[in-house]
Each structure stands twice: as C-alpha cells, then as structure tokens.
C-alpha cells in the first residue's frame, strides 16, 4: 500500500529489516545478542539486495509488492513454525545479582551503591537536553576555516564532555556498568558525535554524496540499471537496495533519507565491533573499550550515503561470522611459529611475573553450522562484490591468509572468496582499465600522500592556529591509535595470548598491502585506516586491560587516552565542515536543472562542488561537453568577457541548442577565498547576462541564478 509519512516509513523500514533476518536466524538460540542484532540486519539486507538486483537487471521493478510478499512469508513462517526466537542472557557468563552485603555497614554500602547506579543515568539525562539546546543555538551562518568548532555554544561542548566522561568512567570504574547502561552510554556517544553535523545541515552533507543520490533516483525512475552510463551502474548493489527500500518506505527521492545514513551506519558498525570483540574476549572492559576507541578514532567520514559504507558493514559482518563459527587450530607450520613465540625468553619472563588468569578463548571446535556459515560468508561477499569495487579485495587480503593457514576452516573458503570478485571483475576489466586504470603505481608513499588545505591563521591565547594545523591532528589521531594498538599487541603476546593476537594483528595490518598497487583516487589511505580500525581498537583495549588485575596506572592511562581521542576526534571531525556543507539553495537549483534540461544541453559552472548530479536525468551530464567550466572560458577569453564570446565558446564546444549558466554566491566567495580564478570575473559576467540579448533568467532563489541562452546557429 502506497501510504507515506515519516513515522510509517520508519515502521516499514524496521519491519522489512527485522522479519526476514529474524526468521533466518531463528534456530541460532545460543548466539550473542549483539551478533544476533547485526546478523538480522545483514541477512535482511543481503536478501533485499539480491531481490533488488534481480529486478533492476531484468527491468521487472515492483519493490512494494515484493517487499509485501517477503514480509508476509516471514510472518507466516513465525506463526506456523514457532521456534526459539528470543536469545538468552546478553552478557555471557554474567552472574546474577552481586556479592552479599554484610550486616556491618550494609546500609551505607547500599546507599553508595544506589548513588553509583543512578549517577550515570542522571548525567546522561542532563547531557541530552544540553545537546539539543546546543544544536538549537549553534550559529547558522556561513562556516569558516574552523568549521563548526567556532559555531558550537558552550552547552554543546558540555553535553559531549558529559557523554564522553560517562563512557570513560564506565570502563575504568572498579565495577563496570550494567550492560543496559553501557549500551545507552555508547549509543549516546555515537549519536552525539555522528549526527550533530547532519542535523545542523539543511540537506545531506558532502558534495560527492549527490552522485549516489542521482544513481539511486535513476534506478527508482527507470526500474533498471544501464551499464553503459557509468561505473555505478556496473556495481549497482547498494543503489538497487536503496531504491528498493526507499520506494517501500514511500520515498521515491533518495534526497529525503540520505542524510540519516551517517548515523545509521555508525551505530551498526559500533555494534558489529562490539560483537566481534565479544567473540574473542569475555571481559567487559575489553569489548566496551574497543567499541569506544573505534567510535572516537573513526575520523575519516566514511559513514555517509555511499556503497563503501554499506560494503564496510557487510565486511565486518562477514568477519563476525568467521570468528564465531569457523575458528580452527592452525596447521603445523603456523603452530610451530606460535610455539617459538611462546617459548621465547621474554615471554617466559613476563608469564612468570604475571601468570595468565584469563586464558585465550580462540580455540573453538568445528560446529554443525560450519557449512551454513560458509554459505553466509560467500553470499555476503557476493553482495559486497556487486556493490563496491575495493572492499572485496581488502576483505580477501585479510581473510585469505587466515583460511590458508588454518585459523579459519575450511581452507577452500580462501580461493572461493577470491574467485567471486574476480569472476565479476573480468567482464568489466576493459571498462575499468580504459576509464581508470588498474594500478596507480607500486609507490607506497605516493599512494598515501596527503596535503591539508591552506587556511588563514587564528591566534588563540598566544598560539597561532590554522585549519591546516588542525587538519594535521587527523594524522596525530591515526598514529596515536596505531602506536597504542601495536603496544597492545605486544603486551598481549607477552602475556601468552599468541593465537588471538596474531589473527587480530594481521587483520589490522593486511589493508595496508592495498597501498602497494592502488591509490583509489587519493582515498586509499582513508580506506586502509578504516579497515584496520576495528582491529586496532582491539589492540588499544588490550594495552589497557590485558593485565590480570585493574591497577591505578591502567585507569589513568585508559582515561587519559580515551579523553585525548575524544578531543582529537571532535576537532578533526567538525573542523572541515565548511568543505563538506552543501547549501540548500544549490540543491534546489540542481533539481530544477535535472527536471528542465535535455540531453545535449550544455551547463556552465565553475566546477566548485555544485551538486549538479542529483536526479534521475543525471546521465545527460555525463556525455562529453555537457558540463563545462566557466574557469576554462575565462582563461580562453583572457579578460575579454562578453555574452557573444561565451555563446561562441559554447558553439565551439558542441553547438548545443540550449546553454545554461549557473551563478551562485558560493562560487563568488570561493573565487575570493580559494583564489580559484579572478574574483571580478563572475560578477562581471553575471552583469552582462542580466542585460544580454537573447539571455533569459530561468531560475532564481536567494543565492543561485541560472541563465539560459540559445546557440548562435
């Protein structure tokens, strides 16, 4: 039923993502709840991606009807074949109740215990309205070099500090918080950090998001994909799924819901990391600390509405399945290497000083569900393969050696994981090679190069700060996370936990091998850190809590480390917001262009991040000469700007019947601030267009004007 509305849309999305996966996992009664939650979402998403791709590839596009059939089938299965749908206790091995109170001092202990139990809830209750008030009073003017950092009021910083402080205290306290309180605290941390910028923006952030919105809208409008258009139509998994779910929810325009992807993916990834760590450690301090570190160190802004965000979550789900069901004893040659590490002198000395209290729980036997787990991993890999170009190979880099060495079983899974992306890539080889190239050069330093933008300085308390210097803090946060993780791996090895440490350390290191061959358009360094981060977070948690007892030194170290990460993340995440923010007027203008331009028309802009590709007609702009830069015309004219000169330049390019010129206030400001071209050219050209013969102002709002003129022919 095509019934719209935001509340009903959210309800329909929850039903669609919950029921099919719930049925598929109904017989896994002993699965950890965190894993069950994300596996439910993963199973449903994989099922819908398969159905959406089948419809998009065949042109048989009936998403609402198919979704209704899937949901009704799931409900029928639940009603007709009831099973153990609800899992057991959330915290494995958690003892009910607590130590008995003695008669002496019992009341005082009870009073202090009640205060300790209520205080974190009160802190979060105070932080919530402060955060909302901070958002409401944040400045809405044009952002400068320091982004949102200079716009946030004190209330917002206090709210973030309270949430961070609650999470830090929860993991360093003498007795860790109950699971419900920890879940609420960490979820609050994710929401506060990852939804703030999106809530303050009128439209989805990141100019490059709008191409993804356009592809989704194209599939929604046409009901199929066209591989001849671009590479997105050749890897359409995410877009087909998004178009499918969007139409099921009642939104035929991805612009209406794309902004929520950043918070949604951040929450899902945090739960995935939590579930992963719980499979290799039953110490609450370790798995909650790792989740917090992952949240505070994930500065790369890769959670937005994009195929890589979806594929990354699927990659983590695939690793979780392997860690839960496919663990095995390594083969002799690898077991011998482990034994040499255990028998080394330094490890023996440390073990004599600090005997291992908590043995490793890596050693798992094969389970009857092993074959089903293998099938699930291969299906997830196939969904990743049709959704993103890079993620399948990063997954292979990490998992292939672990299957071949026996840490995961069976061994045939290694070539199977590699064969799926290769089989899909071979038919697209000629296209990718001709359009982008296969390798960007075996130069590690060139593929990881990074130059922060130049900005004007700001003097604060005698210190000279610039946006460039703040951008370097991302490097500091990255290196700090890596150094702490390596120290944690070493400490873990010294305590005798060789097997789990080798596996996690390899998964953290393996993504860096991708830098040997490909820069991925300058983004490879971000992807490498992103794929290494879950495993680096485990290393950081091991550094703090691998000892047999909680000590004052570890409490101070963990508190200082997490607090420093929170401050660095806040600066790095919110400082470059001026480069990520897209004006709403620009989006409205681009929607008008998408609806009114025809194939073959020419559109002139300055190549500033104007979201030109936003609607279902975006293929019009991908042909040669359909979008041209005003900057190129200014250089060609060499200062002799005129309407007739621009018309002649347009006719020289293509001789299009209709030509459109986009003039925005943001372009003018960019011309001055970024020195992209002579600042006076745009106002001079717009003045000529306003009074030019044969020129018509066809669109105008507060900050954007669009002019149209015919070809001279």
Cα separation, 205 vs 566, whole angstroms: 22
Name the H helices within 597-660: 630-637, 643-653
Is residue 559 located within the same domain as residue 601?
Answer: no
Q: Chain-wide mean pLDDT for the chain?
A: 84
Residue 488: band (very low, low, confident or very high) from pLDDT cuts 50, 70, 90 = very high
pLDDT over 50 (residue 463): no
One domain, residues 673 and 595:
yes
Are 550 and 655 in a shared domain? no
Residue 680 is encoded by which pair of tokens? 């006076």
Q: Which two tokens stand for residue 44?
A: 């449903």
Q: What's the total number of domains in the chain? A: 2
- Provide the sign of the torsion angle of the four alpha carbons 493, 396, 532, 269, taken in this order: negative
pLDDT at res. 442 = 46
Band (pLDDT 50/70/90 cuts) for residue 515 is confident
In the listed set 527, 551, 574, which residue is the last one of a domain according to the structure? Answer: 574
A 10 A CB-CB count for 555 gives 17
With a CB cutoff of 8 Å and minimum separation 6, the contacts of 273 are: 290, 291, 294, 316, 534, 537
38 belongs to a structural domain: no
CA distance 145 to 457: 9
CA distance 467 to 459: 12
CB proximity list for 69: less than 8 A, separation 6 or greater: none
| CA distances, 251 to each of 206, 495, 500 (Å) | 21, 54, 45
> Is 453 a member of any domain?
yes
Q: Has residue 303 been placed in a domain?
A: yes
Residue 233 DSSP one-character state:
T
Mean pLDDT of 278-282: 90
Same domain, 496 and 607: no
Residue 338 lies in a domain: yes
Q: Which residue has the higher pLDDT, 613 or 517?
A: 613
Give dist(CA 388, CA 400) in Å, integer.
19
Residues 309, 197, single domain; the answer is: yes
Asked whether residue 382 falls in the same domain as residue 447, the answer is yes
**525, 545, 574: which is the final residue of a domain?**
574
Examine residue 695 and state whether it is found in any structural domain, yes or no: yes
Cα–Cα dist 147/139, whole Å: 11
CB 671 within 8 A of CB 661: no
318 lies in which domain range?
183-205+257-574
Asked whether the beta carbons of 313 and 199 are under 8 A apart, the reply is no
Return the HEC string of 375-412.
Answer: HHHHHHHHHHHCCCCCHHHHHHHHHHHHHHHCCECCCC
CB atoms within 10 A of CB 586: 26
At which residue do the structure tokens 């791996």 appear?
489
DSSP per-residue codes, 159-186: HHHHHHHHHHHHHHSSSPPPHHHHHHHH
Q: Which tokens in the block code for residue 564?
A: 């420093």
C-alpha 58/C-alpha 536 separation (Å) is: 43
The count of residues in the chain is 713
Determine, yes or no, domain membership for 124: no
Say if residues 163 and 182 touch (Cβ distance below 8 Å): no
Numbers of helices and strands, H then E, in the chain: 29, 7
Q: pLDDT value at position 87? A: 42
**Cα 637 to Cα 96, 640, 643, 644, 652, distances in angstroms:** 79, 5, 11, 11, 13
pLDDT at 445: 43
pLDDT band of 185, cuts 50, 70, 90: very high
Same domain for 532 and 657, yes or no, is: no
Quick one: 546 and 598 in the same domain? no
Asked whether residue 511 is domain-assigned, the answer is yes
Could you give the 3-state DSSP secondary structure of residue 601? coil
Summarised one tens digit per residue, pLDDT across range 306-320 is 999 999 999 999 999
Whether 26 is in a domain gets the answer no
What lies within 8 Å, CB to CB, of 455 at 6+ separation is 145, 466, 467, 468
pLDDT digits (tens, 9 = 90+) for 616-651: 999 988 887 788 888 888 888 887 888 899 999 988
CA-derived radius of gyration, the chain: 28
Alpha carbons within 13 A on the beta-carbon side of 551:
10
Give dist(CA 704, CA 660) in Å, integer. 13
Token pair in block for residue 352: 């004599």
| Mean per-residue pLDDT, 450-455 | 44
pLDDT score of 518: 61
How far is residue 16's CA from residue 246's CA, in Å, rounded to a whole number? Answer: 11
Whether 454 and 589 map to the same domain: the answer is no
More confident residue, 96 or 278: 278
Are residues 276 and 378 located together in one domain of the fold? yes
The per-residue pLDDT for 470 is: 63
Q: In this model, does residue 291 exceed pLDDT 70?
A: yes
Token digits for 660? 């459109």
Among candidates 253, 138, 266, which has minimal Cα distance to 199? Answer: 138
Give yes or no: residues 625 and 602 share one domain: yes
Domain boundary among 574, 596, 617: 574
Angle at 293 between CA 491 and CA 193, to 5 degrees: 170
Contact predicate 269/37, CB 8 Å: no
Q: Are 55 and 61 in contact (CB under 8 A)?
A: yes
How far is residue 204's CA from residue 181's CA, in Å, rounded to a whole number?
Answer: 31
Distances (CA, A) of 60 to 17, 56, 66, 617, 641: 22, 7, 11, 20, 51
Of the candidates 266, 265, 384, the residue with the CA atom closest to the CA atom of residue 318: 384
CA distances from residue 309 to 96, 301, 313, 531 in whole angstroms, order as listed:
38, 10, 6, 11
Q: What is the CATH number of the domain that holds 591?
A: 3.40.50
- Confidence band for 6, pLDDT divided at 50, 70 and 90: confident
One domain, residues 483 and 616: no
Instruction: Give the pLDDT mean for 66-75.
Output: 93
Quote the pLDDT of residue 142. Answer: 78
């Amino acid at each position: 039923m095509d019934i719209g509305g935001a509340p009903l849309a959210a309800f329909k999305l929850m039903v669609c993502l919950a029921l099919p996966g719930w049925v598929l996992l109904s017989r896994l009664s002993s699965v950890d709840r965190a894993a069950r939650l994300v596996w439910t979402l993963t199973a449903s998403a994989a099922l819908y991606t398969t159905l959406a791709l089948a419809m998009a590839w065949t042109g048989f596009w009936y998403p609402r009807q198919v979704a209704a059939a899937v949901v009704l089938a799931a409900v029928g299965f639940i009603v007709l074949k009831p099973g153990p749908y609800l899992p057991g206790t959330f915290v494995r091995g958690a003892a009910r109740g607590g130590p008995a109170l003695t008669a002496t001092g019992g009341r005082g202990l009870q009073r202090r215990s009640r205060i300790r139990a209520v205080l974190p809830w009160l802190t979060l209750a105070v932080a919530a309205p402060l955060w909302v008030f901070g958002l409401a009073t944040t400045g809405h003017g044009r952002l400068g070099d320091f982004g949102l950092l200079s716009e946030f009021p004190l209330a917002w910083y206090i709210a973030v500090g309270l949430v961070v402080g609650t999470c830090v205290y929860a993991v360093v306290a003498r007795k860790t918080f109950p699971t419900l309180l920890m879940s609420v605290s960490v979820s609050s941390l994710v929401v506060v950090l990852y939804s703030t910028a999106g809530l303050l923006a009128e439209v989805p952030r990141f100019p490059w998001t709008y191409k993804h919105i356009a592809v989704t809208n194209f599939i929604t409008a046409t009901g199929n994909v066209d591989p001849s258009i671009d590479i997105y139509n050749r890897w359409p998994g995410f877009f087909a799924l998004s178009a499918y779910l969007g139409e099921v929810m009642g939104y035929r325009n991805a612009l209406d819901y794309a902004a929520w992807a950043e918070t949604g993916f951040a929450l899902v990834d945090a739960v995935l990391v939590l579930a992963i760590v719980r499979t290799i450690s039953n110490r609450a301090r370790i798995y909650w600390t790792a989740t917090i570190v992952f949240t505070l160190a994930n500065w790369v802004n890769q959670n937005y509405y994009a195929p890589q965000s979806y594929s990354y979550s699927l990659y983590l789900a695939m690793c979780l399945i392997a860690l839960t069901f496919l663990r095995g004893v390594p083969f002799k040659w690898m077991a011998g290497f482990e034994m040499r590490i255990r028998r080394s002198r330094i490890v023996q000395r440390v073990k004599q000083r600090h005997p291992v209290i908590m043995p490793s729980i890596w050693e798992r036997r094969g389970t009857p569900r092993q074959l089903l787990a293998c099938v699930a991993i291969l299906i997830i890999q196939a969904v990743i393969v049709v959704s993103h170009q890079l993620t399948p190979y990063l997954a292979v880099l990490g998992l292939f050696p672990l299957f071949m060495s026996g840490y995961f079983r069976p061994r045939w899974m290694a070539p199977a994981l590699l064969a799926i992306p290769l089989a899909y890539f071979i038919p697209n080889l000629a296209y990718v090679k001709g359009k982008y190239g296969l390798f960007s050069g075996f130069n590690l330093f060139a593929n990881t190069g990074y130059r922060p933008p130049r900005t004007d300085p700001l003097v604060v308390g005698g210190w000279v700060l610039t946006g460039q210097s703040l951008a370097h803090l991302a490097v500091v946060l990255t290196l700090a996370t890596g150094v702490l993780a390596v120290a944690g791996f070493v400490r873990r090895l010294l305590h005798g936990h060789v097997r789990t440490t080798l596996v996690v350390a390899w998964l953290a290191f393996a993504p860096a091998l991708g830098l040997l061959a490909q820069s991925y358009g300058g983004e490879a360094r971000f992807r490498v850190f992103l794929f290494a981060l879950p495993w680096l977070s485990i290393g950081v948690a091991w550094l703090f809590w691998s000892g047999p007892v909680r000590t004052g030194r570890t409490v101070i170290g963990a508190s200082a480390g997490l607090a420093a990460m929170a401050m660095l993340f806040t600066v790095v995440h919110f400082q470059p917001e001026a480069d990520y923010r897209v004006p709403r007027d620009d989006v409205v203008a681009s929607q008008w262009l998408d609806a009114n331009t025809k194939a073959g028309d020419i559109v002139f802009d300055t190549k500033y991040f104007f979201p030109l590709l936003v609607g279902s007609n975006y293929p019009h702009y991908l042909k040669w000469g359909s979008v041209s830069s005003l900057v190129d015309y200014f250089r060609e004219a060499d200062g002799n700007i005129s309407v007739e000169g621009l018309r002649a330049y347009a006719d020289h390019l293509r001789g299009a019947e209709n030509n459109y010129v986009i003039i925005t206030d943001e372009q003018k400001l960019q011309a001055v601030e970024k020195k992209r071209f002579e600042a006076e050219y745009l106002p001079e050209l717009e003045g000529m267009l306003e009074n030019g013969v044969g020129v018509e102002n066809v669109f105008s709002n507060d900050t954007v004007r669009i002019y149209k003129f015919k070809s001279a022919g």
